[in-house]
Structures are given as structure tokens and as C-alpha cells.
Amino acid sequence: MPYHLHISESGPPPHLAGGRLTVDLAALARNYRLLASRSKPAQTAAVLKADAYGLGIGPVARTLWAEGCRRFFVALPHEGARLRAALPEAEIFVLAGLFAVETAAIYREARLIPVLNSQSDLSIWEAHGWDGERPRPCAVHVDTGMNRLGLTAERARALAEENALTSALTPVLIMSHLACADMPDHPMNRGQLKSFQDLRALFPQSESSLCNSAGIFLGGDYLGDLTRPGIALYGGAPVSGRANPMEAVVTAETRVVQVRRARAGETVSYGAAPLTRDTIIAVCSTGYADGYHRSTSGAGVPLRQAVGKGAEGFIHGRRVPVLGRVTMDLTLFDVTELGPDTVAVGDHIELFGPNMPIDEVAEAAGTVAYELLTSLGRRYHREYVGGDV
């Protein structure tokens, strides 16, 4: 079959791809186990929105299911329908809620549980969330300080009173979301916990859920009945400024397509960053279109909108800095320190992974691991290792 007719989940084949992405499903499973043990006595769900943070919802879902995870959160209804195809038996919550009346059908067909976030969500589900005579399960999000999604405290109180009379809704879960859990000493955490405890007490028949990855490390009363980790499953550091207890799950590598020598005084890339020494340059075939953000560009680049300090890659046991501006399809690395003839065409430089912590790269780029993972795109060759999916 001609290649252009063969579009695969794993992206282009290795010899045609500009970079490769290795997803270690065994590391993912170990991360789930660690989070589940830290969450006890609460159960541990998994957040698989945005294609499981860019890793691929199918393989991630099946791996976690094999580890005993039975409850999942996605952001959008169509993500829920995709997850349903992978896991026919799972309990699937959809964080974004209902949007509009027409979406009630997909919730019914794919057996999704909406997280009701607003008066509009409540009204739609009260009218359309029925299985014959029985209201279908839902979750209710109460806002405790994010001012993003969720019912106000007043609306939640009114709902509890109304529903005690009408039983028009069956909220199996009452949830809220922490704004500052990655900063354990932030006073917002205790304030949100107190508000959440007051509100969840209005729904004694429902389970409670407050913790994302970072919240799990707050422990104690924060844990509630169900935790909802995302980033820590995928190897991101849950708590800022602390050692990361999670294992790297994703290794992103870029292919060296040229090795060049340039002299001090010559320039590199867009914006013509001047070289201050004779330099060996590894030209690599991934760029910001592959989620290696332009803000990873090397230091000393004129006119760049710098927010970070410039990122580094890893090759042959050493770190190598990004040189000049990252472009759409290509990134340059300064490999001078490795000496002549060490880096060759066809080698791969690790952009992030076990040797180049993703949070460090994200910080250098002025962003977070979440954004690096969810912008990886479809041009890498993807390989899933360490699992049977």
C-alpha cells in the first residue's frame, strides 16, 4: 500500500518521522499504583482529557484499566465517546458538562456521566437525563474559589433542598477543584477544603472528589472518596519545588539531520543570533509545530519574546543547549562540547524524558509540563513500550 494511504495511530514510520515519541506504559502503571497508594482510603480515578494529555487515550486507558482503575474523567463529550469505545465497562465523567440540549444524546448513547457545572446544565439534565422513569447518574461541581466551572455555594444549597423534594437528579459525585494545590502552604488550600466540606455535606448520598495530582500530596481530609490525578500519571511533578516522585512516561526525541560547523561571528537561525565561538551545530527535524515551543529558543537570541532561559537536550550522556530560535520544523543544538565527530546524522537528541526532566524543559520555556505534553502533535513516530496494548 502506498505510504500516503496508510495513516496509522503510531504516526509516520520511524524512517520517515522527524522525531520519535516513546510512551512507557509500565512507568504509567507504576505511577498509577503510587498515586493509588497515596490516595488511600480514597479510590483513584484517572484524568484522560486532551487525548490523555497527548499520550494517546486508547493505550493509556487500557493500561490503567489493567491496573484496576475503573473511573475516568475527560473534558469533552466526544472524548468520552472515544474512551467508551476503548473501555466498554468504565465509569466515565465529562468535566465540561452539557453545553447544549443536543448533547444529551451522546451522553445517553455512550453512557457518560456529565459533571453539571451551571444552572443551564442542571436544567438540561433534569429534562433529558432520564432512563425511562429513573434519572441517569450525574456529578455536580461546586465552585470553591476557581471561579471557572461549578455552582456557586448559594446555588448548591438551593439544589440540595430542591432535590431532596423532587429527586430529579442522582448526583453520584460532588466535586470541586483546587486552585493552588501545587503550593502546599498556600492558604487557599485550607479555605477551599473548608468550603468543599460544607457543601458536600449537603449531599450525603454522594461521593466526594477534590484532589488533582498535587492535591493527593496534601493528603488527609483533602482526599475525600475519589482522587482525580492527571499530570502525575504522565510523569509531571505534582508539587512545585519538590523532588518529583513520579517516573518519566514520555520520551520525546528529535532526529539529527545535519551536523554543521560555523565560525565565530557567523549567525544562526531566524533573527541571526551571532555565534561567539566556533560552533558545531546539530540541526534537528522537529520544531514548534511538534510542540517544542518557540520559547525554548536559546539564550542570546535577538528579538525573541523570551520568557524562559532556553532549553537543553540530551545526547551521548551530556546536555546540549538549544542554539538560536526554534523554527516550525527545525531546532538547532550546540554540540560543540561533545567534540568533533561525536554527533552524527541519524542520532537522536532527547528533548525530554528520563534524562531531561519535562518540568525543567517546561520551566526553561516559560510554561508547564501539561502544555508540552498536550502540544506534541501527530508528526512523531509513536511507540508504546512496557505494556500489552
Ligand X SMILES: Cc1ncc(COP(=O)(O)O)c(C=O)c1O
- Which residues participate in catalysis according to the annotation? 49, 270
Tell me the Ramachandran region of residue 297: left when phi exceeds 0, alpha when psi lies from -120 to 50, beta otherwise: beta
Calculate the CA 227 to chain-centre distance: 16
**Cβ proximity to ligand X, 246 vs 301, nearer residue:** 246
Binding site for ligand X (CB under 6 A): 47, 95, 177, 212-214, 228-232
Q: Write out the DSSP string of 327-347.
A: -SS-EEEE-GGG-TTSS-TT-
Question: How far apart, in Å, are the Cα atoms of 317 and each of 54, 263, 335, 347?
Answer: 27, 25, 12, 13
**Cβ proximity to ligand X, 124 vs 139, nearer residue:** 139
Asked whether 321 and 298 are in contact (CB, 8 A), the reply is yes
DSSP state of 169: -
**Cβ proximity to ligand X, 63 vs 213, nearer residue:** 213
Print the SS3 string covering 45-109. CEECHHHHHCCCHHHHHHHHHHCCCCEEEECCHHHHHHHHHHCCCCEEEECCCCCCHHHHHHHHH
Residue 179 C-alpha cell reads as 486552585
CB of 160 to ligand X, least distance (A): 21
**Cβ proximity to ligand X, 237 vs 332, nearer residue:** 237
CB of 73 to ligand X, least distance (A): 6
Q: Name the residue number minimizing CB distance to ligand X.
A: 230
CB of 123 to ligand X, least distance (A): 22
CB of 214 to ligand X, least distance (A): 6
CB of 223 to ligand X, least distance (A): 14
The Cα–Cα gap between 382 and 19 comes to 9
**Cβ proximity to ligand X, 49 vs 304, nearer residue:** 49
